[in-house]
Chain A
Amino acid sequence: MESKPDSSPIMLERLYSVVHPNAIYGVAFSPDGELFASASLDNTARIWRASDGALVTTLTGHGDGVAFAGFTADGRRVVTASLDRSVRIWTREGRLVANLSGHQDYLACGTVSARGSWIASGGFDKSVRLWDSQSTASVASFSGSDDTVQCLGFSADGNWLASGGDDATIRVWNLAAHSLIRKLTGHVGTVEGLAFSPKDGGLLASAGADGTLRLWNCDGPAPTPSAVETISPMVTLDSSATKLKSVAFSPDGVLLAAGGAEGRFEIWQVNDRKPLLARTVHQNTIYAVAFHPDGRRLATASFDRSIHVWNILASE
């Protein structure tokens, strides 16, 4: 599974793999790069050592599958979102700190802001909830989605939250005003993955069940408080996957990685929209991709119960 295409300027070298006994829905590195967290349908999240994949601890207690696991911006806490409708906050050592409830149905996604202390969660109740990881308070609930919310992403500055889902629409929320500011339309089918560029504040990438990767420019004049701007994609990239499920920017914003059905994985160069690599790296849908903070490694998490951690190498 690890090889480079003849014409590919980069290649992947698999460093190691870790497994859960059931499908894996989420993977995220800690800000210091020492650990990564995984979320699984086996009802657990696990913390692993990033250098070699050694298991550090298992977070148990959720009553159903775990859809998301990620670290808070300060790296001291782990956040999980579960099909059991709860969001939980844990220490890195695995001690439960808080159990946040309020959702009325399965959670399908979660995310943590790279700045500040925001947590967001979304799911089958069509709502998006905003939480504060330090106070553990419920800050806001955003309604308006017409169907299940499948993915979320904070902007790098922590001012915006994007949500997407089964209604094929991406919504961008202003976190200070707790208001919807933009609706992004163009996907034909579920929006499965979202990621804001860490370097280009308004650049948003989305991965769709329609097999496309789309780039959106969310910058521009702020709409008036009562107006919601509807914008179209800046770029649409046709993936080699029949369906995409996950997307992530590299820490420098130069690369965009996407995972999809049947284990398809792609890396694109953002500035010229050039495909750098397209490979089948798993045996089933890739539910999550995450870059290591050093930008030279990445992790792919799949329904095939495995996470692969890769070195990204330039082809010779």
Chain B
Amino acid sequence: MIELRGAKHRFCDGVSRRSFLKIGGLAAAGGLTLPQLLRAESAGGSAGRHKSVIMVFLSGGPPHQDMFDLKMDAPVEIRGEFRPIATRVPGLEICELFPRMAAMSDRLAVIRSVVGSEGRHASFQCMTGRTFDRQPAGGWPSLGAVVSRLQGPARAGTPAFVGLSPKMRTSTWADPGQAGFVGQAHAPFTPNSGNADLTLQGISIDKLSDRHGLRQRLDQLKRIAEVNSSLEGFDAYNQQAFGILTSSRVADALDLEQEDPAVRERYGRGANVPAGYGDAGPLMNEYFLAARRLIEAGTRVVTLAYGRWDWHGRPHGTNFENARDHFPQLDQGLTALLEDLHERGMDQDVSVLVWGEFGRTPRINKNGGRDHWPQVACALLAGGGIRAGQVIGSTNRLGEHAKDRPVHFQEIFATVYHNLGIDINQATIRDWSGRPQYLIDHSQYQPLRELV
């Protein structure tokens, strides 16, 4: 069930009559008639197959050496508590707490040598592929915003970009990816952001029903738009907002009660409370299921923050206690998602990317934790047509740095763009200064040749 901010309307089965009237009344004021909206929705028809991405952000920096790169030859103060298990991929061993991933490893690509982390405790680099400093005018857009800008919605009434991250005390982890210089029309729809249920880019039902206020806001935004290009496509933005609010597709996708109970059970549930120290996103496996349903409904990019992986140790539990808490749940949720996508014939179209902002220190600290380690990290890719069943890169004996095949964040972005059918060597978007910007630094970084 979705509740619209303020009015608390049920939105799980279409739109209530009251909401309908509000939106309809406003549509006249804003220049869009309800019949036009409905025609647009009807014309949308079936989304058909579309390329898409689900990005799972492991907030806080997951411990690479305890997940996919165990160092059994390292001294005890580095090695950790877990043992490796064999997988279906010859030579690939992963943590014993990932038995389902091990059994599905032929559908995974494990990257053990992610480099280039700027070391910030934030989702920014995972969402944009870029570093925070020295951004172009308007700021780097996130993957979802870029895809929304270049490819638009796959289906009328469904946003191209959805961020499932809930509101968190650490706002840099809650960031589902910003629009940056591609403009607010391409910002994510964020149904779980707490105080903005079912709003789009700051416009809620309350604001929509306030004709005077909305006119003022529109005028204000248009004035801004005249100065820069941040609101390019403003009409489309309005239409999308109305479309989402008047369509039941998104609400249906987010209403997991409509899902087969057996499928829900396969994903697992989790706790809908802040994880770990209370400042991060919940360890909610239902987000994985919601992501799949959103993709089916026509969304192109879904991002979500999953749990809290910043495991410095006691008194908030050791790295290994937290791993025993998070790993099995990730193992269940992620493999359920991949299996589900496979069974539905979506796995060749949907890229799934799992990673965090950096790795963690090889040496276990006195509180049983591992601290920040931007020198190297790990990532997991699946689906999207990649050649899975392989491990890319390696680290040295102690897991301190990439030994061979260092893989930059932007190479992973390049691979994902490739999977989406976007040519990184051609596509550009103008920033607010009017300068065309490539999606990544394509002179340095290309899609991972091992995977595409």
A positions within 8 Å CB-CB of B: 21-23, 41-43, 64-65, 67, 83, 106-108, 123-124, 148, 166, 242, 261-262, 283-285, 303-305
Contact = CB atoms under 8 A, between A and B. Distances in A.
B316 interface: yes
B317 interface: yes
Given A22-B271, A23-B317, A67-B315, A42 B278 contact: yes
A303 B321 contact: yes
Interface of B: 81, 271-273, 275-278, 314-317, 321, 324-325, 328, 366
Contacts of B277: 41, 64-65
A172 to B, nearest CB: 24
Given A41-B316, A41-B317, A303 B275 contact: no
B275 A22 contact: yes
B315 A303 contact: no
8 contacts: A21-B273, A41-B276, A64-B277, A65-B315, A83-B316, A242-B81, A303-B317, A303-B325
Given A22-B275, A64-B278, A83 B315 contact: yes
A82 B316 CA distance: 11
Contacts of B366: 166
Nearest to B314: A108
B325 A108 contact: no
Nearest to B273: A21
Contacts of A124: 315
B325 A65 contact: no
A247 B3 CA distance: 48
A262 B315 contact: no
Contacts of A242: 81
Contacts, number: 55
A50 B278 CA distance: 28
Given A67-B315, A83-B316, A284 B278 contact: no
A39 B54 CA distance: 36
Contacts of B272: 21
A285 B324 CA distance: 9
Contacts of A23: 317, 321, 325
A261 B314 CA distance: 14
A43 B278 contact: yes
A100 to B, nearest CB: 18
A305 B273 CA distance: 12
Contacts of B314: 108, 148
B324 A284 contact: yes
B40 to A, nearest CB: 42
Contacts of A166: 366
A43 B321 CA distance: 18
Given A42-B278, A64-B278, A166-B366, A283 B324 contact: yes
A123 B366 CA distance: 15
